[in-house]
Amino acid sequence: MGSTDPIPSEGPEIDYLIIGAGVCGLYQLHQLLEIGASVRVVDANAGLGGTWFNNRYPGCRFDSESYTYQYSFSRELLDEWTWKERFAAQGETLSYLQHVAERFDLERHITFDARVVRAEWVEDGWFWRVQLADGTEIRTRFVLGAMGLLSVPTYPRVAGVGSFGGVETHTFDWPEGLDVTGKRVIVIGTGASGVQVITDIADKVAQLTVLQRDANWTAPLGNGPITDDEMARLRTSYDEIFAWCRETPAGFIHRPDRTLSTDVTREERWAHWEDLYANGQGAAMSMGNYRDTMMEVEPNRELSEFVAGKIRERVQDPAVADILIPKDHGFGNKRVAGESGFYEVFNRPNVELVDIMANPIDEVTPSGIRLLLEEGGTRDLEADVIVYATGFDAVTGAFDRIEFVGVDGVRLKEQWKDGPETCIGVQVSGFPNLFILVGPQSGAATANFPRGIEDVVNWMTETARQIERNGIGRFEARREAEVEWVQHVREINSLLLLAHSKSWFNGHNINLDREDKPRVMVYLGGAPRYRKRLAQEIENGYPSFRLA
Ligand code: N01
């Protein structure tokens, strides 16, 4: 439907509108088409792929093993796709998603360049009136949110952002054709995106200045090509691989060791960590380690000491190494970034690390960045390119950007002003027929993404089947179930050290207010428990929801 079409005045035109054509939205589209539903996808981007469409910065790749980061629903698809690297780069993943869309003829159901700005519930008719940025209206019985967890980039709140005379970009918005070879570049941020872009460009640029606030733990990614033989072996093992991922807490092939760190000697522990580190098993260091290392302070402190020692070994200048060692959280208490040569970058003569905790940014100037020096005075950093690797208004940002208006005119943003509250991560009371495929307090939010969203999408698809079979017109979360879920998430999250760090998992880094109070953003109870909880709803006739 285009903006010039006459405005229809009747009820819903379609049954399901999915917002977002990324990994999640594409799979949901495929599954709803399979059950014969009337479905449409809208996406603000000019192409499909979500995260993999947007993030085109040099070095962008994922840190899930490629063969676990793909859909499992089609044997033919699994058989015909060949992964080139153990951890595929952005371009390869985007090609994979484009291939999926082409193979299953999905693209004709997607409208691109279509940003949803408003969605209003029509109680008198039980449908949503959805408005796009160009004024187009879509009326749909159900809205399914698949806007992504990390799709709203944030910038430092300092003077001058946007006024730099050279190229100023967020990692999320890397301009087409921007080549930093021979340029003076400033990168702000050393989270997963910063670690990747810094490592990739260090040997190409004339000068690289890295501005770091808190240091972040990283561990060796262990990337490398997948040979034909290896690919053939993987293809014959997919059933086991996916079955295994289904049982691990985060949907990866790594699962916590059943052994406690105290069951072995210090020598054995350190030898084990040496082995993991040397063999590029960084993911296993956080997700496959002794089971108390991510829950108990002392084992975690010792593991942190081990990794800090590795940083000291790899960085020549002890003062620089010290800045790169996190002080405010232990290893794995924020998401660990996979790295391939990150620390060696800081041994290069053309690279400087600046601790902006000690020397904060004063402002972005037309020629670069001005720092306020610890010892007094200022320092002007000159640059051709400034890269903001400063993260996202995570998890709720994409919801806040759309004006969702529910029952009695209540705005979702207003309802969530003190933090999001959801019913099992899939619905919000007062917002009937709005389903969240990926968002706050969902098990999908912390899982190896394709594995996590499969659980929610499969649940949604079965729910849609029941909606159609049983003629359900209104589907709404019960407030008491929502309260119960948030309480459960709070309790289960508190068992992990991860829940106590200042990271996007807890709503801390949104750059809107650095001291923002911790929010229950994600569910850390593990994918198997989450899947079981969703299944209970289906088995028991949706007791947490009111159906009409
Ligand atoms: O963002 P982040 P990201 N002034 O929020 C700093 C996924 N991902 O884009 O720690 C100065 O982690 C901030 O400092 P601090 C993955 O899930 C995956 O890197 O807040 N600095 C931090 O250093 C990841 O967790 C992959 O003190 C400021 C950095 O910017 C998520 O995306 C690759 C600042 C932000 O780190 C987000 O990663 C890339 C300010 N005002 C991303 N504000 C892979 O699969 C923030 N910072 C490998």
ipTM over 0.95? The verdict is yes
pLDDT in tens, 398-447: 999 999 999 999 999 999 988 999 999 999 999 999 999 999 999 988 89
CA distance 419 to 492: 17
CA distance 322 to 319: 5
Contacts of 408 (CB under 8 A, 6+ apart): 430
Lining residues, ligand 1, CB within 6 Å: 62-63, 150, 156, 188-194, 196, 213-214, 216, 335, 338, 356, 389-391, 504, 509, 511
Best CA proximity match to 399, nearest among 173, 147, 227, 181: 147
Q: Residue 306: phi, psi to the nearest 5? A: -60, -50
pLDDT in tens, 40-91: 999 999 999 999 999 999 999 988 899 999 999 999 999 999 999 999 999 9
Cβ burial, residue 112 (10 Å; 0-12/13-18/19+):
middle
Residue among 51, 60, 62, 193 whose CB has most ligand 1 atoms within 8 A, to mutate: 193
CA distance 334 to 523: 14
pLDDT in tens, 13-25: 999 999 999 999 9
Gap from CA of 352 to ligand 1 centroid (Å): 19
Q: Give me the mean pLDDT over the 147-172 stretch.
A: 96
- 3-state SS class at 371: strand
Residue of the CA atom closest to atom 10 of ligand 1:
214
Helix, strand, coil shares of the chain as percentages rounded to 5? 35, 20, 45
- Give the pLDDT band of residue 350 (cuts 50, 70, 90): very high
249 in Cβ contact with 528 (< 8 Å): yes
The tokens describing 397, both together, are 């940002």
- Give the pLDDT band of residue 2 (cuts 50, 70, 90): very low
Residue of the CA atom closest to atom 46 of ligand 1:
390
Contacts of 306 (CB under 8 A, 6+ apart): 270, 273, 277
- 3-state SS class at 345: helix
Residue of the CA atom closest to atom 31 of ligand 1:
192
141 in Cβ contact with 14 (< 8 Å): yes
524 in Cβ contact with 492 (< 8 Å): yes
CA distance 67 to 376: 52
pLDDT in tens, 234-283: 999 999 999 999 999 989 988 888 899 999 999 999 999 999 999 888 88
- 3-state SS class at 547: strand
**DSSP structural state of residue 143:** E
